[in-house]
Amino acid sequence: MSQHQRLLAAALAATALAVTTVQAADNFPSHPVQMIIPFAAGGPTDIVGRIMSAKMGEILGQTFVVEDRAGAGGNIGAEFVAKGTPDGYTLLFATVSTNAINPGLYKHMPYDAVKDFTPVARVGVTPTLLLVNPSMGVTDLKSLIALIKANPNKYNYGSSGVGSILHLCGEEFKAMAGGLDITHVPYKGSAPMDTDLLGGQITLAFDATPTALPLAQSGKLHALGAGMLKRLAAMPDLPTLDGTVMPGYDLLAWTGIFGPAGLPQNVVDTLARPIEATLASPDVRERFRAVGVEVYWIGPAGFSSYVKNELVKWTTLIKSAGIEPE
């Protein structure tokens, strides 16, 4: 076969593939869709991802198969989708960690958080609450900050691990309060952190609403503020850090759905519509509220810009906190 014939054959094959891809996209979804959850089964991301997948499947009339691929802070599952075929049948139920925080924490990322994905929609946010042990005897943010400043190096705060969103929330709190002298105590997850916070081994911590709300609402721990711009629906009387002493404090865990880079626009649109419909469903909103997640829809174009801004925000925060990439 001559060089000309080889080039012609390659061109014809590429054209046939393109036609097949367009036809498949036009018929999307014609078979089950795989939703990759990059964290362990039973966790907050898994719970919300399964709620979304079930309802989306119901609306689209197609099965959504959920698969948990945990590890490396979410990087394993995210990499699997990044390297997948951009046909809409392999999706990532992503978080702020996989697509905004991890690039600043890991020296060698297995994917590009922007270039290797097609944003489809943001689903919701998981706010954080600033919790203190009742033994501290403070009832508001101003008195907490004053107490810490009056007693340098006496108090500590917990997190779910070095570089975790809860650690970064604590570091931003320290910085925006004027450089508090308070020691960071990292744990392997929120559960052991909360145990020690309840027991008085640590004095304060930021925690995500799925675990923080029951502790705050029961009075076992005191919630002094929410780390978001808007007041928390589940605790509307609780002030925000932004609305009291830290204007602009807005550090949220978020979830969203991505496909691999190159996902056809009609597939993106076909997915975005049932996501929006799912989030408008009263039963889904109630189930979200029960686990401390608030619905915050952002469509494909807006979500793309949002992710880029989040990447810059969290990378800057990581650097300013002096956290070295692993």
Distance between first and last Cα of the chain? 51
On the question of pLDDT at 40 being above 90, the answer is no
pLDDT band, residue 1 (cuts 50/70/90) = low
Predicted confidence at residue 233, as pLDDT, reads 85
Quick check: 131 and 204 in contact, CB under 8 A? yes
Q: What is the mean predicted confidence (pLDDT) over 34-43?
A: 92
- Strand 253-260 relative to strand 156-159, pairing: unpaired
Same structural domain, 276 and 307: yes
If one counts every other C-beta atom within 10 angstroms of the C-beta of residue 152, the result is 10
Question: Residue 310 has which token pair?
Answer: 């989040």
**Residue 69 to residue 149: CA distance in whole angstroms:** 43
Instruction: In whole angstroms, give the CA distance from residue 46 to residue 52.
Output: 10
158 part of a folded domain: yes
Distances (CA, A) of 96 to 19, 28, 306, 307, 318: 35, 28, 11, 9, 14
Residues 142, 110 share a domain: no
- Write down the pLDDT at residue 3: 52
State whether the Cα torsion 183-188-194-199 is positive or negative: negative
Pick the closest to residue 193 from 166, 222, 213, 163 (CA basis).
166
Task: Let me know if residue 6 belongs to a domain.
Answer: no
Give the pLDDT confidence score for residue 180 in this predicted structure.
93
Model confidence at 325, pLDDT cuts 50, 70, 90, reads confident
108 and 257 both lie in a single domain:
yes
Share of the chain above pLDDT 90, in %: 77
On whether both 112 and 35 belong to a single domain, the answer is yes
User: Is it the case that residue 184 has pLDDT exceeding 60?
Assistant: yes
The CATH number for 205's domain is 3.40.190.10
Asked whether residue 290 is assigned to any structural domain, the reply reads yes
Can you tell me the mean pLDDT for 204-212?
92
Q: How many CB atoms lie within 10 A of CB 86?
A: 18
CA-based nearest residue to 44, from 211, 275, 169? 211
Paired tokens of 141 = 């943010």
Q: Which of 208, 226, 244 is the last residue of a domain?
A: 226
> Is residue 257 in a domain?
yes
Whether 142 and 112 share a structural domain:
no
Question: What confidence tens digit (pLDDT) does each residue in 75-132 have?
Answer: 999 999 999 999 999 999 999 999 999 999 999 999 999 999 999 999 999 999 999 9
**Dist CA 227 CA 246 (whole Å):** 10
Q: Are residues 46 and 120 in the same domain?
A: yes
Same structural domain, 180 and 150: yes
Of 140, 147, 100, 122, give the one whose Cα is nearest residue 317. 100
| pLDDT score recorded for residue 7 | 43
Within a domain: 10: no
Where does the chain show beta strands of DSSP type E? 33-37, 64-68, 90-95, 117-126, 128-132, 156-159, 183-186, 204-208, 222-226, 253-260, 294-298
Strand partners, 91: 35
Nearest-angstrom CA–CA distance, 189 and 159: 8
The residue behind tokens 């075929």 is 85
Whether residues 190 and 118 share a domain: the answer is no
| Same domain as 270, residue 121 | yes
Find the domain containing 148 and state its range: 128-226
Do 141 and 114 lie in a common domain?
no
pLDDT band, very low/low/confident/very high, at 10 (cuts 50, 70, 90): very low
Q: Which residues contact 239 (CB under 8 A, 6 or more apart)?
A: 140, 141, 225, 226, 231
pLDDT at 14 over 70: no
Q: Among residues 226, 242, 261, which one ends one of the domains?
A: 226
What is the CATH classification number for the domain harbouring 294?
3.40.190.150
Mean pLDDT of the chain: 90
pLDDT bin (cut points 50, 70, 90) of residue 155 is: very high
Question: Looking at residue 232, what DSSP letter applies?
Answer: -
Judge whether residue 9 has pLDDT over 70: no
Co-location of 206 and 177 in the same domain: yes
Structure confidence at residue 21 (pLDDT): 42
> Domain for residue 256, yes or no?
yes
pLDDT at 81: 98
3-state secondary structure of 66: strand
Inform me whether the pLDDT recorded for 8 exceeds 50.
no
Q: Report the number of distinct structural domains present in the chain.
A: 2
Asked whether residue 23 is assigned to any structural domain, the reply reads no
The answer to whether 96 and 125 are in contact (CB under 8 A) is no
pLDDT confidence of 12, banded at 50, 70, 90? very low
Give residue-wise pLDDT tens across range 268-320.
Answer: 999 999 999 999 999 999 999 888 899 999 999 999 999 999 999 999 999 99
Residue 48 falls inside a structural domain: yes
My answer on whether 117 and 137 are in the same domain is no
How would residue 25 be classed by pLDDT, with cut points 50, 70 and 90? low
Whether residue 68 has pLDDT greater than 90: yes
* Of 26 and 286, more confident: 286
Residue 224 has pLDDT above 90, yes or no: yes
**End-of-domain residue from the set 186, 211, 226:** 226
